[in-house]
Structures are given as structure tokens and as C-alpha cells.
Amino acid sequence: MIGLPDMIFKKRGLSNKIAVICGVLFAALFAVSCSKQSATANNVKIYYVDAKGNQIESWNSEIKANTMDTDEAVGVLIEELSKKIVTSKAQAAISEPVKLKKFSVEEDEVKLDFFAEYDQLGRIDEVLHRAAIVRTLTQLKKINYVSFSVEGQPITDHLGNKIGKMKSEDFIYDIGNEMNTYKQYEIKLYFANEANDKLVPVYRAVAYNSSASLEKMAVEQIIAGPNNNQVRPTIAPGTKVNNLSIKDGVCHIDFSEEFLSEPFEVDPELVIYSIVDTVTEFPEVKSVQIKVDGQTDFIFRDFQITGLYERNTDLIY
């Protein structure tokens, strides 16, 4: 483990928080690959939380970190992440109460261990700080993952499940037109309970690209599945969202054919309403039409799918 000079972590008049999610797209892998190639030749971007505390932004440093030894480059970037931002009230990703105790580099992963004050961070704002740190460090050619711990204990989500190592695309949901601004949002997802007879709400704090569709992001998070063993996934993990649009209060969701497979043996009604009840959490959505490769009428495990579906609170536990 590599100790860091205490002077780096003195209070700099900044504050706030971070936490995670997830949903990984094939396009994200392409974007991150391009980002790493660009960072090899160009200066590294340093991400930070904006003055309003609701998104992350970046500034171009003068550091060509990929010309350095990896351990040295990580140390330099951590020091940059700890510097006071010139912008009024903007928050450095590593600042009070986010104080780093030590770090290590193991293969393609940076392990960060924070002081106990880290636990003072609120659940939602924590996403932004963590996104800023991960996005900065994974620009390094040889770094793909970052993991967080507090006084040696791995950080957990609000259900107590270990979050584990994170990669850059864990914070991106719309790669096609990527912007350097990310916002925080807490979404409510519905998964099947262990008894397979009810839906259970799961709250997930995410940092998302400001140009992304929140409804599409929520559906992709259902596909990604739960991050704990207390609820059951509902949609086959290979499923893709071909298209999602909202018109006159109806959310039209077109899935790929993988949707028709059901490896989890979840009641088909719960599968349908895990989607419907999640998407209708958004106020502009009143009903949902589900398609598979453009087909609006189809059979899903002996369950006839047709027409529009409205929210069903009777199935919610």
C-alpha cells in the first residue's frame, strides 16, 4: 500500500458525496477504449463535482499521465483530484469529508482506502464523487477498475451489499453523444421477490449522462438485474432495448428477441409489471406498450402480450 502525504488531504473548503450503479452497454466499451487511446497522447481530464452539486464536469490538466509509470501516474492524478477547484464552490472529488488514507495498484485495478469520515457522505451525492474519481483514474491505459474501501472495509450499497470494483462505463448510459456532464438521480426499480409472487422496489442511485433517457436507463437497469440476493432478476440479461419512445403518455419499448427467453423462471406477469411499474414511476408515463422486434402482439411463456399496460400496485409488496 502507498501512503499519501497528509498535506494533500488538508481541508480545502470543499465537500460532498458519491455511490453507484450500474448498467453496461457494448457501446460503452467502445467509448472507453477510444477515451483511453485519446488519453495516451493527450492530457488527462480531471473530473470534479460542479458548484450546484448535481453533476460532474472536467477540466483538461497538463498531465500526460500515460507517459509515466502506472503507480506514479495514479499518485499524480489522485493529487490532482484533491486540489481545490478554481470554479466558485465546485467540489474536488477527493476533499472533506472524502479523505483518502492510502492506495495501491494491483494489475489493472486501483484500490482506494478512505478514512472513516467517508461514511458521512449521503447516498445520492456520493455517486458523483465516485464517478469523478473512477472516470479520472480509468483514463490511464493500464487501469480498468477502481475499488473503494473505508478503513479497510469494502463500501456497500444502501442494502449492505458490497459494490466491488467499478469501471468507467458503470457511470455512462448514453454513449452515442457523450457529454462531459453527469447528473445524479435515484431510480426505483421493481424485481421479483424470493417467493415469486410479488414485486419488490429497489432504489438505485446513479450518475447518468445528461443527454440520456431516464426511462431507457431504468429499463436497462432492470435488465442488468439486482445487485443483491434478496430479490430476483426478471429479464434475460442478453436482452437489448431496440428503441424506447414516449408519446401522449404511452411509453413504447421495443426489446430484442432475447426478451422471449426466461432463464430465471419468474412468473411472466411479474416480468411484465417489473417493467411497467418501473417506467410508470416517471410522471410523464401513464401506460406502457411492450414490443419484441417491432411486434406488438406475441406470446411470452403462455402469456399473451398485447395492447397497453397500466401500473399495477396490487403486485407490489
**HEC per residue, 197-251:** CCEEEEEEEEEEECCCCHHHHHHHHHHHCCCCCCEECCCCCCCCEEEEEEECCEE
Contact present, 155 and 146 (Cβ < 8 Å): no
pLDDT higher than threshold 60 for residue 198: yes
Contact present, 101 and 114 (Cβ < 8 Å): yes
Phi and psi at residue 210, to the nearest 5°: -65, -15
Mean pLDDT of all residues in 140-157: 90
Q: Would you kindly state where each structural domain of the chain is located, as residue ranges?
A: 2-171, 214-315
Report the C-alpha gap between 270 and 191 in whole angstroms: 8
Residue 64: what pLDDT?
80
pLDDT higher than threshold 80 for residue 88: no
Q: Which of 27-31, 142-146, 158-162 has the highest mean pLDDT?
A: 142-146
pLDDT higher than threshold 80 for residue 12: no
Report the C-alpha gap between 260 and 264 in whole angstroms: 12
Please choose, from the candidates 19, 21, 18, 17, the residue with its C-alpha nearest in 3D space to the C-alpha of residue 170: 21
| Residue position matching grid coordinates 434475460 | 236
| Residue position matching grid coordinates 507517459 | 67
pLDDT band at 152 (very low <50, low <70, confident <90, very high): very high
Residue 17: what pLDDT?
33
Phi and psi at residue 239, to the nearest 5°: -70, 140
pLDDT higher than threshold 70 for residue 285: yes
Helix axes 125-137, 70-81, angle to 10 degrees: 150
Question: Which grid coordinates are listed for 299?
Answer: 406470446
pLDDT band at 210 (very low <50, low <70, confident <90, very high): low
Residue 158: what pLDDT?
60
pLDDT per residue as tens digits for the range 36-78: 544 444 688 999 988 777 778 888 888 887 778 899 999 999 9
